[in-house]
Structure 1
Amino acid sequence: MDIYLKRAILHIIDREAGDPVYSQVELDLTTEYIRDYLTKKIQKLSTPQTKTGILVADSEIAQLVKTAEEAFAVFSEQLISRWYEIYRQSEDAPSADVFVVLYELDTKMQVAFLKVNYTDGYTHFVDADEQGIQNKLIINRAILGGKTQKADEGITIDLDTLAYELVEKKYTFSGEKGVYFSTKVIESEALPSLEENVKVIKKVAEKIGQKFEAPSYDIVADVKEAVFETIEETGQIDAQEVAVKVFKDNITAQMAFQEEVKEKGFVDNAPMLREVKEISEKKYGKQKLKLSNGIEMIVPLDVYRNPDLIEFVNNPDGTISVTIKNVEEVINRL
């Protein structure tokens, strides 16, 4: 995706110091490392854990978002103020820096909220007194994660459609741990993430498979393949398509599967995040197998389904033999 940064600002959230420290000056986007850092953080919000949804058009947060382009600095402060009023009530939510970014994605204007928690880091400190120069080792408790690390929490919102992509964490509020960003900050019922939907599918498929005495490893492999193929074909997960691919000609199993996944919270044909096909290929495009004897294998889907390359044989004694065939070269890497 092509991201063009327009404006950005950094606000400091030090829980020990009290109220947020609002910046009155925006970040200098002509500085390459700032552009690179923010761009990478936005890109990494697209994960299997990312939830999607659309803000309610007449909600307070939606009305606030509509001011982002015209009054960016004021908007950023109001957004942080709204979020922090809820965040501060948590017993264990950590200190962090929050970046608010206005950017263009494929010609569409977006706004991003990126929260990066502090981590401890060690560095040197040069001190001098009457004895001379002393190089000290000190600990800095407000180090930010590098550009290759994803933001701890974040949301991107399309200013036109109000569609959003959200990564949120659970923190403790009044003794109970739970999400707060979707329920209280944006007051929107986010759709389950790709990972949440697939977990439901996998669990139900294994349960249904047991009733029909299907091997668990085969069911999980079929689920991963079905998820990968339906996303590649349509950009969504279709429960009916998954049922057909996993349970083949067993109509009874297909019907039972479709009914139970919906009962367990699966959202059929839910809108997915923009990068879903790329994420699906990385996460579900390969079978990861761990055998009881300690052997682990990562097998591409096209290889897994090719009996000329790999074969699983159920032995009379209940064990399984795995045969890898037609290998031209074995490379042993340290």
Structure 2
Amino acid sequence: MDVYLKKAVLHLIDREAGDPVFSQVELDLTAEFIREYLTKKISKLSSAQTKTGTLVEDSEISRMLPMAQEQFVAFSEQFVNHWYQFYKNSEDAPNSDVFVILYEEEAETQVAFIKVNYKEAYTHFTELDDQGLENKLILNRAILAGKTQKPDEGITIKLSDLSYELIEKKYTFSGDKRLYFSQEVIESVPLPSLDENMNVIKKVAKKLSDKFETPTYDVLANVQEAVFETIEESGYIDTEEIAEKAFKDNVSAKLAFQAEVVEKGFVEQKQMVKEVKEISEKKFSKQKLKLSNGIELIVPVEVYRNPDLIEFVNNPDGTLSVMIKNIEAIQNKL
């Protein structure tokens, strides 16, 4: 991901102090550590938990966006203040820092809102008094997560077409947990995340394995492999292709799968998060099996379907044997 940072500002959210502490000066983007931190945080907004969608043109946020390039600091304050009017009403939403960033990616100008919650950490403090130099251990309650950690919440918005990628969390409002960011801040209904769609697919696959008396591990393995292959080929989850690959000649299973995933909430998306192939490679390129005797196996997809390397044998007594073949060497990863 090639990101060119144009402008950025940091605002502080200390709920005990009242309203946000708004910075009137942009962050210094000539500092390499600042550029690296912000770039990493932007990249982490594209994940398996990320939802996608498009803002409606007459929403509050959409009306602010034209200010972003010419009046960036004023825009950032207006954006954060709008968000905070909802956030402050939560009983358990924590203190945090908020970054608002103007950047370019693939020649598209975008805005990012990134919230990083505080965490506690210990550090030292040196003090000189009448008795001499004293090194103290102190607790700092406003430490930010490292650059490689995913933001707690955030959104990126393309200025050209108002499309967005969103990570949101549920917080408690009047005793009820809810997703306030999409419902109230951006006034939008996003499409399900990759994880949400996969949860639907796995539940339906498990149900069908019972219905058609097929081992659950085998059905789930077929489905996972099919998901990985369709994302690699097309960049999105194609349930028709998954049904063909996973259930092969079982026409009833294929039709039942396609109907039930839609009924349970699966939404097909031709445009998924921009890093979907990289995410798929990490999540679905290996089969993870846990056997009843406690053995756990991690098997690459290309190995799983090769009977010369691994074979699953049904024994006459109803048990199952796993044969791992043609091993040239074994390493202990202690």
Pairwise TM-score range, normalised by the shorter structure: over 0.9
Gaps of 5+ in 1: none
Secondary structure of residue in 2 paired with 1:254: helix
TM-score of the two chains, using structure 1 as the length reference = 0.98
**Alpha-carbon shift at residue 127 of structure 1 (Å):** 2.0
Q: Is residue 70 of structure 2 the alignment partner of residue 63 of structure 1?
A: no
Structure 1 residue 128, shift from structure 2 partner: 2.5
Residue 276, structure 1, aligned to residue 269, structure 2:
no
User: 1:271 deviation in Å?
Assistant: 2.2
* Cα distance in structure 1, aligned partners of 2:177 and 2:278: 32
Counterpart Cα distance in 2 of 1:43 and 1:73:
23
Corresponding position of 2:31: 31
Deviation at 1:270, TM superposition (A): 4.5
> 8 Å contact 2:235–2:270 — kept in the other structure?
no
Give, in whole Å, the separation in 2 of the partners of 1:102 and 1:180: 24
Q: Which residue of 2 aligns with 1:153?
A: 153
How far apart in 2 are the matches of 1:315 and 1:283?
Answer: 31
Give SS of 2:236's match: coil
Name which of structure 1's ranges 284-293 and 124-133 shifts more when overlaid on structure 2: 124-133
Write the deviation string for residues 78-111 of structure 1: whole angstroms up to 9, x where unpaired. 0000000000010000000000000000111011
Match of 2:185 in 1: 185
Q: Distance in 2 between matches of 1:170 and 1:224?
A: 28
What is the alpha-carbon distance in structure 2 between the residues aligned to residue 149 and residue 268 of structure 1?
29
What SS class does the counterpart of residue 265 from structure 2 fall into?
coil
In structure 2, list runs of 5 or more residues that go unmatched.
Answer: none
Q: Provide the residue aligned with 1:175 in structure 2.
A: 175
User: What is the correspondence of 1:146-295 to structure 2 with a 5 Å cutoff?
Assistant: 146-295=146-295
* Paired AA for residue 213 in structure 1: E
Q: Report the counterpart of residue 83 of structure 1 in structure 2.
A: 83
The TM-score, its normalising length taken from structure 2, stands at 0.98
1:218-253 CA-partner distances (Å, limit 9, x unpaired): 111111111111111111111111111111111111
Where do residues 129-144 of structure 1 align in structure 2 (5 Å cutoff)? 129-144=129-144
Alignment of 1:42-61 (within 5 A): 42-61=42-61
Aligned to 2:299: 299
Look up the SS of the partner of 2:297 in the other structure.
strand
DSSP-derived class of the 2:249 partner: coil
Letter in 2 for 1:183: Q
Structure 1 residue 113 corresponds to structure 2 residue 126: no
* Alignment check: 8 A CA contact 2:230 2:236 kept: yes
Give the 4+ runs in structure 1 shifted more than 3 A.
none
User: Structure 1 residue 214: deviation in Å?
Assistant: 0.7
Q: CA deviation at 1:258?
A: 1.2
**Per-residue deviation, residues 91-149 of structure 1 (Å, max 9, x unmatched):** 00000000000000011101100100000010011123222222111100000001111
Q: CA RMSD in A?
A: 0.9
* Mapped pair 1:11 → 2:11: yes
Distance 1:212 1:303, change over 3 A: same
